[in-house]
Structures are given as structure tokens and as C-alpha cells.
Structure 1
Amino acid sequence: MSGHTATELAARARRQIADATTPNRFVDVLESGGMPRERLIWLAAEEYRIVGSDRRSFALLAARFPEAPAGELFLGLAQGEGRALALLDDFAAALGESDENLSAYEPRPFAQVYPAYLAQRAAFGTASEVALAMLANLEEWGAYCSRTARALRAHYGFQEKDVGFFTFFAGSPPGFEEQALDVIASGLASGDDPEEAVRAARLLHAYETAFWDALVDGLP
């Protein structure tokens, strides 16, 4: 399979995700200035568990697929999650929450289906599935993080340092798309099922949507 095939597969996954995308009510409410402080704590605490889980998932993928190009991609993603955890501490501290509080928080089940699915794919999936799922969903996730950072500064009194977690994820890492496409192309050339890869991208998107919905559940 050629890199062009990987590019076409990514475009197909992105089209399907775009067709399934609905308004993000959590971010909409946040931008209105009406988000209760309790829900910001939920956001920090849910992300605390998600990022920790995702770091382990990417480390597992790097161990399962150590050869280039997959090994470098997944190791870089694991390192990025480690950086994100440190930045999340700043957001939690601005909310007055300690690591102990974040650990003691009772997670919402549907807020955690995203990392659960990623962990499943990390253990049992192919490198191309995970690479395509991350690539196809990254732009939407980054846009939500960018909007969240702006809203927190504009309406809730947070400083730039406090929202570093969200600005960190607002843009993709340099060279990420090229790396991910290389991993997808390599996997396809080795016989990975392109339909399973596109399915993984769709499911990851659905589970990310469930995360945002869980944070706004019950608000008027």
C-alpha cells in the first residue's frame, strides 16, 4: 500500500467523523460563562484519569510495535501525555484541587469510555487502527481544547499558566500527521484491515463525544 492510500483512508475517516459530529454543549455552556465551578473540577478530575491511562496505552503500543515508524510515534505520544499530566496539575491547582483530591474523585462511567477503548486497542488492536483514530480525531479535539482555554481565560479568571493543559493540546505535535500516515501506510502494507482502522476512528470519536456529554449531563 502506498502513502497515498493512507492519506485517502484518513480523509475518509475524517468525512465520516464530520458527518457524525454534533454541537459540543459543554464547550458551548463554558463559552457562555455559565459553567458551574463543580463541572470544572469534573473536567480536571476526569482528565487526570484519562491522561494517565492514555500514557500507559501509548507506552504499551510502543512496546508492541517498537520498530519504525510506529515505535517513534507511540513513544512520542506517551511522552506528550506525561507533559500533559504536569500541565493538568496547574489547572487543578487553580481550582484549589490537589492530586489527592483528583485521585479520590469518583469518575463518571461515560466520561471514561474513551480511555477504556484506547486501552483495548492498545492491547489488541493494530498500529494502523490507533494511528488513524488519533489522526482523524485530533483536529476536533484540538479545537475544543482551544475554545476551552479561551473561555476559561475570558469568563472564569484563569491565567495563561492555568490553562496550559488545554493550549498544549490545541495544536498537533510537529510532524504528527506525517508520522501517523507513515504508520497507517506501513500497517496497510503488512495486511492491516482498512475497514477496522476506519471503524476505530469512528468509535473513538463517539467515545470522545460521550466524554463531553458526561460533563454537561444534568445541566439545564
Structure 2
Amino acid sequence: MTRTARDLLKTTTARLAPDPCSNPVVPRIARGEAPRSVLTALALEQASVIPADRRAFQHLAERGLVADPEAAAFFRMLAEGEALAEEQLEAFVTACGVDAAAAAAYAPRPGCQAYPAYVAWLALNGSPADAVLALTANFSAWGGYCATIATALRRHYGFDDTACAFFDFFAEPSPELDETATAAVRAGLDAGRLTESLAHEYGRLLQHYEAMFWSALLEPTP
């Protein structure tokens, strides 16, 4: 079933690839045209997204411990990665000129927080195996965005390696995570725990909520 699992991950990722026009922010950052206020909003919104996703992944891991250990291993890796990313995010927030008082006073934008809210819904309601497939497809686009942002922050905004480490982390390929995702999908298929139509629907919604995240960064400060 190895090839079948890999093919399913590949085809689902291709089917759910976002429309290039759905993200109005990353191309502007890539050209150095996004104002610093957008970078600041990105930093502060991620400060809410990352810990929320980490807790959702931890819950998915706990749900899969007995019935779906392969999916549990995948979500443990994600949760550990979010914890590391949360530490690296601090340098980006600081580079954006945000102090503790400004961070505490910031009001998150509903459009930006719809994505982690839906990840939390998946943690409570989705099959862990289905969530593995949906999230893996979504992460492909996110990694590409992060690679573009990391390059642009250095080239156009003068950010150093420490400030860019958050984006470098997500941009870096992770063969170990890919193998763990493949094992989880394979196990889900073998045991009949994975429903491709549901996983596709979850992934479709994740992509739409991510598009909302980027568009909301351009909205006026609440």
C-alpha cells in the first residue's frame, strides 16, 4: 500500500493547490511592496495561531494513541514543531518593532483566526487519519509561502537570519514528517479509517480559511 498512500497524498495535494490569485499578500512581500504594518499583523496573528494549532495537534495525537498510533505519531511531530516555531516567532515579532505592551493590546482579526478555529474543530470532530491527509495537503502551500517570505524579508526589509528563522523552519522540507504522514495515511487506508471524500472536504475548507487569513492581513486594524 506504500505507493497507494503516496499517490493519494500527491493527488490530494495537487487537487487542493490554492489558486495563485487567492493570496494577495505574499506576492507583495516578495516584491518588497507590503508595508511594515502588514508584516507586524502577520507576526501578531501567528502569535495566536501557533499555540492554538499546537494544542489542536496535541489533542489529535491523544485521540489516536490507541486506535490510530501512526496518526498519533504524525500529530506529535506537528505539535513539537509548533512549539519550536513559537520560540522562533519571538524574534520576528521583535524585528517588527513590537514590544510586550503592543503585543498584549493587539486585537486578532476574525478572518485570520478562522483557520486555527477550524483546525480546533478538526481536532474535536475529524478522524485523525482524515486530518492527516487534509493538513498535509494544506502544508504544501504554507511551506512555499514561507520560503518566499523568508527570501523577501532578507532582500527587501533587512531582516537577519534570526528574525527569519520562523519562516525558514516551515520552508525547510521535512522528509521525516513526510514519511510519518505516509505511514499514517497507509495505516488509515489499511484499517478503513480514512475517508477520502471527507479528507478532501476538510482540506478544501482549510485552504479557504488560509486564503481568508492572508486577505484579512490587509484589512484596517480593528
What TM-score do you get using the length of structure 2 for normalisation? 0.90
- Give how far 1:63 is off: 0.9
Instruction: Work out the CA distance in 2 between the residues paired with 1:99 and 1:65.
Output: 37
Counterpart position of 1:124: 125
What does residue 58 of structure 2 align with? 59
1:21 partner letter: D
What is the CA deviation profile of residues 101-128 of structure 1, one whole-angstrom value per residue up to 9, with x for unaligned ones? 3343111111111111111001111111
Deviates more, 1:60-69 or 1:49-58: 60-69
Q: Which residue identity does 1:177 align to in structure 2?
A: D
> Cα distance, 1:203 vs. partner?
1.4
Shift of 1:5: 3.0
Q: Cα offset for 1:139?
A: 2.1
| Conserved? CA contact 1:3–1:181, under 8 Å | yes
| In structure 1, C-alpha distance between the alignment counterparts of 2:84 and 2:206, rounded to whole Å | 22
How does 1:74-113 map onto structure 2 within 5 Å? Answer: 74-113=75-114
1:216, 1:46 → 2: CA distance?
Answer: 12
Higher alpha-carbon deviation: 197-206 or 8-17: 8-17
Contiguous gaps of at least 5 residues in structure 2: none
Task: Show CA shifts across 1:117-166 (max 9, x none).
Answer: 11100111111121112211222111100110111111111111111000
Kindly indicate whether the alpha-carbon contact (under 8 Å) linking 1:133 and 1:197 is maintained by their aligned counterparts in 2: yes
Does structure 1 residue 216 correspond to structure 2 residue 218?
A: yes
After TM superposition, the structure 1 = structure 2 runs for residues 195-214 of structure 1, keeping only pairs within 5 Å, are: 195-214=197-216
* Residue 217 of structure 1, CA deviation: 4.0
| Cα shift readout 1:43-98 (whole Å, capped 9, x = no counterpart) | 00110110010000011111111153122211111111010011000001112213
Partners of 1:180 and 1:102 in 2: CA distance: 35
Q: 2:20 aligns with which of 19, 22, 41?
A: 22
Structure 1 residues 80 and 49, CA, compared in 2 at 3 Å: closer, same or farther?
same
Q: Residue type matched to 2:212 in 1?
A: A
TM-score (norm 1): 0.91
Counting only pairs closer than 5 Å after superposition, residues 9-48 of structure 1 correspond to structure 2 as 9-18=8-17, 20-23=18-21, 24-48=23-47
Deviates more, 1:29-38 or 1:44-53: 29-38
Change (3 A) 1:209 1:165: same
User: May I ask how many residue pairs the two structures share in their alignment?
Assistant: 216
Query: Which amino acid is the alignment partner of residue 14 of structure 1?
Result: T
Q: Which amino acid aligns with 1:48?
A: A
In structure 1, distance between residues paired with 2:59 and 2:101: 26
* Alpha-carbon separation, structure 2, partners of 1:172 and 1:73: 15
Q: Percent identity?
A: 38
**What runs of 5+ residues in structure 1 fail to find an aligned partner?**
none
Residues of 2 paired with 1:174 and 1:185: CA distance? 16
Shifted more, 165-174 versus 52-61: the winner is: 165-174
Cα RMSD (Å): 1.7
8 Å contact kept, 2:50–2:86:
yes
